[in-house]
Structure 1
């Protein structure tokens, strides 16, 4: 009798585990701390006959054990050599044994001619496997266009969306370039879903991420920016055709970050038009590339357009990046922290001087006699007496709430410069149309002197002075951070 009871319990527990982690029953949810963690694995290039499979398994298991993600997302070029089915089953077994749910978007090598399996046939292999939670998606270009909703920590509200999009492989007409692109029907599908989720959320878009394999052509725009961090070891192998996917992401304003693979020697992340564009870290031992194998980790925060990301390898973690500030651990380690001023201030405001004349540089105003002086609530050029050919000098103290790296920017027409404790942080000088320039500085908590110089020449006049940090969302510097001495 006892043996029958034990056998029944074992069968019940086994069946319960299978039900809990089938695609139909699993529900992704922010934890009690309001966090949801994703491990991105990319370019595994699994070859079931290779001795390197053991190294790839070791890398993936190391990441899963160390990070314990809520979800693993595989961003293409997963099984690149026959036997294809055996390869996918072997990769799936890694996540099944770790009891970690996983999803897939396909790469250009996953269904190349001669491999014997189409893109949708690959999904036929993996759909229904334990812990696999993706799907083929609706009939449209490619296969594997689907979204994963993430529920709030409490209740049944959807709090975030993870878009999985097939970036396809090669265009039918090779005169259009080497790599294919995300097509209009896929973009239309994303736009419809974005609107649908917003309509169910009081017409407010949900914080979202997008995953696919081939990088967008806009990845070229973040190279060399102050908010870009990581390794660029090769060119960006995007499609030559710009399909407008990025324009839709910008318009919908829900996707915080795009995560791709494809370029094995790239692992950098940067921000373009308020969207983070990131490469994962190559994961497979049989893939080309010099970077140590590992994974990109993404940590989302409930009800916030904010995430942290870093690279995990056997050596540990590196390249921490904080969206939307664009601050990174590289900045924290390499910048010298400026000490706070030994001063106590309680009067809010900004002191200004006003000039008129033709200036080539904002530094030209230093030797000039001001026509007017006074105090404003904030940095503003509204009190200018003429429309063209004038300049302002602003001085105040900014109260920094905590030790850290801060990003400042000026968005100006024409030129501007921003100094912190007499150190040039933003150089946006010269006569030009509206242009934004950013700079970073490491500051101790407390008061720091801030100076802004501005000039206006011909046609159009704008000045915005902004700030961001790990814990301050990008914004124009608020009045309550700016102080002047009692005179």
Structure 2
């Protein structure tokens, strides 16, 4: 279920953004360039249980600590009878703390009270600005919350999509759980397109919230690049690729997706530039071993950027930074490589070009040296042959801010990237175009970058890029590269 509070009208799916904004007498807005969301998930509120008091204390502690602009409850809120009493108790937390809130449906909520009755009750709260959502699409509570600018007060600077991931479906060939259906996806696409047009053709930075994870969450579990707890032993998604994720990619607005459902998961991971994340289980009566709490998400105005962390009554846990994929734990624990002294002020990349057959980067030593020179950046376009050649690139990369950085190579065939003599990206071997990345902690200043590349046969590609906490991913620019002494 989804709830929305604050003094903001939810924009109905059939109305244009311009019309909707004109109807909103009060609304969410960035404050000092920030907007903070608290996600609570899987309260599993059991009205007659004494543990409800502990769940309420957890929510209140997080709200008191973080002072969010909005709380979003991502499903499985009240999961036993008497359900109405449970909803009264939960809503009173937000009424008493004067916290705007939204609820998205979980798979258990409608087992104890109908969706319509739940929303009829929620709409009575002065801190709820949700809606039942369009009657002609699947589910209940589908809606979008615009967040306006602090400077450009009439401009929507962020969007929060709340969706009903539904509950169960009868054909077990597709798995136990339902999914987000095509008419919901079509509704999202219409909303997204409308906001993009109203924003001069630029997608508006957005987040999406619902209960049951997408099947794509399974893909990031095995890539070795997730951060957080992965203790569930899997992802309890439907066995159907609904097309929701590909629509997020297509519309180019959703930066991150936040779900619940799997209580022993709170991990985050990037898939094709979109963060797929879990909240932290909140309810004491819910199964699971994780310390109860909530996920905090801090959006930045007019940027495709946010930070997120878990807060419990004991305090904050480590922060994760989008879009870099870095986190505060590695900032504090990784060994920082010191900058090197240099007298060079000349821009460029020194290279040596070879010809000969290679199957591994190490084979470059057996190739024939053809020429050496200087380029403005890494390039293989000047190779004299289409196959069986190699390059040895050396440069100094200038790092403007101390931090953890992620470097990548996209190459066909093999490549290896070293910084200050340390192998950071190992994309070696004969293969089609492939991306590999690695992280390194760097002090401010110049650092030696050594890149080895070879082309065996059939296709030639080389791209080198990086990202940092405050640096959106980009290819390494000429302005960062300087010739070694």
Q: 1:481 to 1:209 in 2, by over 3 A?
A: same
In structure 1, distance between residues paired with 2:267 and 2:343 = 41
Structure 1 match to 2:284: 285
Asked if 2 retains the 8 angstrom alpha-carbon contact of 1:22 and 1:132, the reply is: no
Unaligned runs of at least 5 residues, structure 2: 11-23
In structure 2, distance between residues paired with 1:416 and 1:312 = 41
Deviations 1:29-61 (A, max 9, x none): 001x21100000000000111100110011001
Compute the displacement of 1:19 (Å). Answer: 10
Asked if 2 retains the 8 angstrom alpha-carbon contact of 1:268 and 1:278, the reply is: yes
Compute the displacement of 1:173 (Å). Answer: 2.4
In structure 1, distance between residues paired with 2:62 and 2:269 = 23
Asked if 2 retains the 8 angstrom alpha-carbon contact of 1:22 and 1:131, the reply is: no
Asked if 1 retains the 8 angstrom alpha-carbon contact of 2:358 and 2:454, the reply is: yes
Compute the displacement of 1:226 (Å). Answer: 5.2
Name the SS of the counterpart of 1:374 in structure 2.
strand
**Which of 132, 135, 145 is the equivalent residue of 2:131?**
135
Asked if 1 retains the 8 angstrom alpha-carbon contact of 2:307 and 2:322, the reply is: yes
Name the SS of the counterpart of 2:369 in structure 1.
coil
**Which of 158, 172, 181 is the equivalent residue of 1:174?**
172
**Which of 204, 207, 212 is the equivalent residue of 1:206?**
204
Compute the displacement of 1:345 (Å). Answer: 2.9
TM-score by length of 2: 0.93
1:385 and 2:381 aligned: no
Compute the displacement of 1:132 (Å). Answer: 1.1
Compute the displacement of 1:369 (Å). Answer: 4.1
Compute the displacement of 1:224 (Å). Answer: 4.4
Matches within 5 A, 1:457-468: 457-468=456-467
Compute the displacement of 1:330 (Å). Answer: 2.3
Structure 2 match to 1:219: 217
Asked if 2 retains the 8 angstrom alpha-carbon contact of 1:417 and 1:453, the reply is: yes
Compute the displacement of 1:370 (Å). Answer: 1.8
Asked if 1 retains the 8 angstrom alpha-carbon contact of 2:161 and 2:206, the reply is: yes
Name the SS of the counterpart of 1:121 in structure 2.
helix
Q: 1:20 to 1:443 in 2, by over 3 A?
A: closer
Q: 1:344 to 1:118 in 2, by over 3 A?
A: farther
Compute the displacement of 1:223 (Å). Answer: 1.6
Compute the displacement of 1:20 (Å). Answer: 5.7
Deviations 1:353-398 (A, max 9, x none): 1111110111221354421111100111111111111111111010
Name the SS of the counterpart of 2:109 in structure 1.
coil
Compute the displacement of 1:91 (Å). Answer: 0.5
Structure 2 match to 1:29: 29
Asked if 2 retains the 8 angstrom alpha-carbon contact of 1:226 and 1:438, the reply is: no
Deviations 1:134-179 (A, max 9, x none): 1111021111110000001132111111000100000132332100
Deviations 1:231-260 (A, max 9, x none): 100111011111111111111110000000
Structure 2 match to 1:100: 99
Compute the displacement of 1:429 (Å). Answer: 0.7
Name the SS of the counterpart of 1:370 in structure 2.
strand
Structure 1 match to 2:86: 87
1:152 and 2:149 aligned: yes
Asked if 2 retains the 8 angstrom alpha-carbon contact of 1:21 and 1:130, the reply is: no
Structure 2 match to 1:472: 471
Deviations 1:196-218 (A, max 9, x none): 00000111100000000000010
Asked if 2 retains the 8 angstrom alpha-carbon contact of 1:230 and 1:319, the reply is: no
Identify the range of structure 1 (120-129 vs 142-151) with the bigger mean alpha-carbon deviation: 120-129
Asked if 1 retains the 8 angstrom alpha-carbon contact of 2:9 and 2:27, the reply is: no
Structure 1 match to 2:364: 365
Structure 1 match to 2:17: none
In structure 1, distance between residues paired with 2:376 and 2:467 = 20
TM-score by length of 1: 0.93
Asked if 2 retains the 8 angstrom alpha-carbon contact of 1:227 and 1:327, the reply is: no
How many residues of Structure 1 are paired with residues of Structure 2 in the alignment? 465
Compute the displacement of 1:21 (Å). Answer: 7.8
Name the SS of the counterpart of 2:127 in structure 1.
coil
Structure 1 match to 2:14: none
| RMSD across aligned positions (CA) | 1.5
Unaligned runs of at least 5 residues, structure 1: 1-17
Matches within 5 A, 1:166-315: 166-225=164-223, 227-234=225-232, 235-315=234-314
Name the SS of the counterpart of 1:256 in structure 2.
strand
**Which of 123, 128, 131 is the equivalent residue of 2:119?**
123
Q: 1:19 to 1:123 in 2, by over 3 A?
A: closer
Structure 1 match to 2:315: 316
